[in-house]
A and B are shown apart, each in its own frame.
Chain A
C-alpha cells in the first residue's frame, strides 16, 4: 500500500519502507548528503540531509526517517515536507559550518578538488565565511594500502568507507576508533586492506580524505576527457568511465549499471590503466637473425602474408586471445575461412565449451542481476572473489539479506561470506549429481537455485564431463518447479572475449586443431604459421613455426613472435564485447593507439589484402553490417542476448569420467591476469604486497 506525502507542495505516492530522502528524490528535489549512499546501510551521522516536516518542531534527518514512520496528521491529510524553508536553510548552513570547523582549507592542493561533495555542497548550501578562530584538529596519517592515499585531516566521519568495506567488499578491515571529534578512520594497527574492491572507497569518500594513491597529483578532473566504456579485465564487462588527457588514459572510474556492476569495479579494472602506457607495441617488428627489429607496416604485413600464402591451410593455426573484441574476431574468422584454415580457436585456456551444444551451455544464464533472486548457489571450481570480484560482491549482498545457502566444490578459500564446503573435486560433484549429498536437497528445496561453474574446471581435460554433470545438477534442481524462464546453469568466464568468440564460432572446424592441438603441432614441426590475435596466456614452443603476433603489449605472445603487428587496447578502439551473461556491450575509443599501432580489424583487413583475399569491408561500419548479418543479436547493445534453455539439456547429456584432481580456480594471481595488468606497476606492487601479507598476516605493511 502506498502512502502519500507532499514534498514542497508536490504530492508523491511512495512504497512502504521509502525514506523521506528517497521520496524527495522521486519528487525531483535534491537533498544534500554526505553519509547517505543508496547502496550502503543508513548511518544518519552527517546531518546534512535535514528537512522540515510541518507539525514537527525540529528538523528531521531525511535519510533515516521512513515516510511510513512519520506520525500521521490528525486530520489524516498527507504530511508536508519542506526542503527549502528558512529552518532547513539554517540547518544546512549550521551543519556545513560544523563540518568545516575541522576541515582544512587545502582545496588547492587536494586531489578531490573539482569532484568534491563537500566543496560543491559548501558552495551550494554553506555560508560564505567562518566564525571559528580556533585551531583545527590534526589527525595522524593512516596507511591503508598502496591504492588508497589518506589525508585524515579532511575526514568528516561519514563512515561510508567503513560501511562499504563491511557490507559490499565483505572485508571487515576499516573501522572508526575513538569517538566524537577524535574519531579516526583506520584499519587494525594500520594494516593494509586485502580486498579486490578496496579502491571503491576512494569514489565513495565525499571529501579528499581517501584518494587514489596511484593517480595522486597528476590531473584535475576538469582537464580530463571522459569517455563511457566497458571493462575487459574480467568477463563481467563492468561499466566504466575512462578519463584521458592527450594520448594517455589517466584513470578508470566505475559507472552505474545495475544489471552488472551496480557502481563498483575491482581494483584491477581501476588501476591497471597505467599498464596501457608501458610495454606497448607501437610499431611493427620483424624477427631478423633471431632478433626483433622495427619494420614498416608494408614490410611486416608483406612478410606475414607471404608466410600465410606459402603454407598449406592445414598447417596454419589461428588463436584469438582474451581481450579481443568481436569485430576483430569476426574478421579473423572471415580471414581463416577465406584461407580455408580449419584450425581456429578462441579458447586459449582450452575450455571444453562447445558452441554446438547451444548458447546456454556457456553463458551465465541466470544473469548477474539474477543473483539477487537466488536462494541457493553451488559454486563449482570457481573462486568468484578473484575471477569476478564485483560478482562476488553481488553474492555477498544477496547473502547478507539472509536466506541464501552457498555450497562450494573446489578450493576452500575465503569468499567474504559463509558457505558450506562440500568437497574438493569430481567425487563430491558426482555425489551432488546423484543425490547422495545433502546439498542436493538444498538445491531441490530452493525456489531459484544457481549452479555456477568456473572457467578453470571447464578447461580441464575432463572439462566436458564436469560441465555435463553440473548441467545435470542444474536441470535436476529446477525440475518440476514453477520458475518460468529461470535457467540455473551458469558459466563464469574469466576472459572478456570468450562469449563473443564462442558466439562467432571461433572453434576448430571439423578436422581442425584446437589451441592445445595447434601448440602440439607447432612443437612437432607440423605447423608452419601460427597467428596469435592478442593471445598471451599460452606458451608457443620454440621451433620452426612462424608466429605472427597481433596485439598491443609486449607480453608472452610478442616475445615468441616472428612478426609483430601492433594493435589497439580496449580503450583505443570501438569494439563489441559480450560479457559472461551474453550482454552485448560496445567500448568507445578514448584515446588513439600509440605510435603506428592500428585498430585490430583494420590490420586484419590490410593483411587480407596482402594475402590476396581481401575482406569485403573497408570501414568499421561495413564490418559491423556484415557482423550483424551473421549474428543479428550483436546489434542489440546493452541487452542480454539470452539463450534458450534447451542448451543446458543438450549439455546435460554429456557424460564422462571426472578425474580425481581437485578443482582449482584458473586465476593464480588476481592482479596479473592479462597483458595490460602485467604491464602495470600498480598491479605489480599489489601482487607483491598480497604475497607478503598472506605469508605474514600480522606484518605491518611497509609503505
Chain B
C-alpha cells in the first residue's frame, strides 16, 4: 500500500443531490443523538458514488454534517482504500484483484493489459479520461479467479481475451453482465457438474 494523499486539484465545492441528502439524513437518524459520527463511512461512500471519487470539499461537508473535526473524517478517508482520493475514469474504475488465488490464475496478465490499455500506473486516468485502474487485495471471489471489480459488481473467470472484450464493451458503452464471464453459474464447476450425477432414487431406501 502506498501513501494515500488528497489529490492536488480539487473541485471548489461539494453538495449532496436532494435524493442523496434525504438518504443521508435517514442514515444519520439511524444512530442515537450524539453518535451521528457513526454514519461517516456510509456518507463518504455515498458521496463517492455521487462524485466518482472522494473529494476534499466532500470530506469537509460530511464533517460539518456530522459535527466531526475535519481531521477525523480525513483519517477515515485515508485509512480505507475503498475511498478513491483521486479522480477515476468516467466510464469505469477497474479494481483488479492481485492476491494469491487470482495471481495464480493469471491476474498478472490482466494488470499488464491495464497498464497497456488504460494507464501506466494505478490511479492514473487513461488519456481519454474514461478509465482508470488499481490493483486491490482479495475481493472474496477466489473460486472464480481472476476477478475484476467495477463499482459494486465483480466480473469473474477472466482471461486476457475475455478481459479485452470487456474493455471493448465498456468503451463502447455496452452493458456488461456481472458474474462469471465464461457463462457458468456462480461458482459451480466450470465444465458442468462432476458429482451427484445420478438421479437420486426416491422412496426406495428404508430408513
Contacts and interface: CB of A to CB of B under 8 A. Distances in A.
B26 interface: no
A182 B74 contact: no
A184 interface: yes
A184 B71 CA distance: 12
Contacts of B71: 172-175, 177, 186-188
A175 B70 CA distance: 9
Contacts of B69: 172-173, 175, 188
A178 B85 CA distance: 11
Contacts of B56: 189
Interface centre among A173, A174, A178, A184 (most CB of B within 10 A): A178
B2 interface: yes
A180 interface: yes
A176 interface: yes
B4 interface: yes
Contacts of A186: 71
B3 A175 contact: no
A182 B3 contact: yes
Interface centre among A174, A175, A176, A180 (most CB of B within 10 A): A175
Contact of B79 (A172, A173, A179): A179
A423 to B, nearest CB: 24
Contact of B72 (A175, A182, A184, A189): A175
Contacts of B6: 189
B79 A178 contact: yes
B75 A182 contact: no
Interface in B97-145: none
A182 B2 CA distance: 7
Contacts of A173: 69, 71
Given A182-B3, A184-B3, A177 B78 contact: yes
A178 B3 contact: yes
B196 interface: no
Interface centre among A176, A177, A182 (most CB of B within 10 A): A177
A172 B56 CA distance: 18
Interface in B1-31: 1-4, 6
B74 A188 contact: yes
A176 B1 contact: no
A172 B74 CA distance: 12
B149 to A, nearest CB: 21
Interface string A339-374: 000000000000000000000000000000000000
Contact of A178 (B70, B72, B78): B78
A175 B75 contact: yes
A180 B1 contact: yes
Contacts of A187: 71
Contacts of A176: 75
Interface in A148-186: 172-180, 182, 184, 186
Contacts of B4: 177-178, 182
A188 B1 contact: no
B70 A188 contact: yes
A328 to B, nearest CB: 46
B55 to A, nearest CB: 13
B58 to A, nearest CB: 14
Contacts of B79: 177-179
A182 B4 CA distance: 8
Contacts of B75: 175-177
Contact of B74 (A175, A179, A180): A175
A187 B75 CA distance: 10
A180 B74 CA distance: 16
Contacts of B70: 188
Interface string B53-87: 00010000000000001111011001100000000
A189 B5 CA distance: 10
A606 to B, nearest CB: 57
A122 B30 CA distance: 48
Interface in A379-411: none
A178 B79 CA distance: 5
Nearest to B3: A182
A176 B72 CA distance: 9
A354 to B, nearest CB: 45
A177 B70 CA distance: 12
A172 B71 CA distance: 7
Nearest to B70: A188
A170 to B, nearest CB: 11
A175 B56 CA distance: 16
A179 B71 CA distance: 14
B199 to A, nearest CB: 53
Nearest to A182: B3
A189 B71 CA distance: 8
A187 B6 CA distance: 13
A353 B197 CA distance: 99
Contacts of A182: 1-4
B33 to A, nearest CB: 13
Nearest to A187: B71
A561 B72 CA distance: 53
Nearest to B63: A188
Interface in A181-209: 182, 184, 186-189
A187 B69 CA distance: 11
Interface centre among A174, A180, A184, A189 (most CB of B within 10 A): A189
Nearest to A140: B3
B2 A172 contact: no
A175 B3 CA distance: 15
Contacts of B78: 177-179
A189 to B, nearest CB: 8
A182 B1 CA distance: 8
A174 B71 CA distance: 7
A700 B17 CA distance: 30
Interface in B139-155: none
A176 B75 CA distance: 6
Contacts of B2: 182
A203 to B, nearest CB: 21
B82 to A, nearest CB: 13
A177 B1 contact: no
B72 A172 contact: yes
A159 to B, nearest CB: 11
A179 B75 CA distance: 9
A182 B79 CA distance: 10
A37 to B, nearest CB: 20
A175 B6 CA distance: 15
B155 to A, nearest CB: 28
A187 B71 CA distance: 7
A189 B69 CA distance: 12
B5 to A, nearest CB: 8
A63 B4 CA distance: 31
A186 B69 CA distance: 13
Contacts of B3: 178, 182, 184
Nearest to A138: B3
Interface of B: 1-4, 6, 56, 69-72, 74-75, 78-79
Given A176-B75, A177-B78, 11 more contacts: A175-B72, A177-B71, A177-B74, A178-B3, A178-B4, A178-B79, A179-B1, A180-B1, A182-B4, A186-B71, A188-B69
The 5 closest A-B pairs by CB, nearest first: A172-B69, A175-B71, A177-B78, A188-B70, A188-B71
Interface of A: 172-180, 182, 184, 186-189
30 contacts: A172-B71, A172-B72, A173-B71, A175-B69, A175-B72, A175-B74, A175-B75, A176-B75, A177-B4, A177-B71, A177-B75, A177-B78, A178-B3, A178-B4, A178-B78, A178-B79, A179-B1, A179-B78, A179-B79, A182-B1, A182-B2, A182-B3, A182-B4, A186-B71, A187-B71, A188-B69, A188-B70, A188-B71, A189-B6, A189-B56
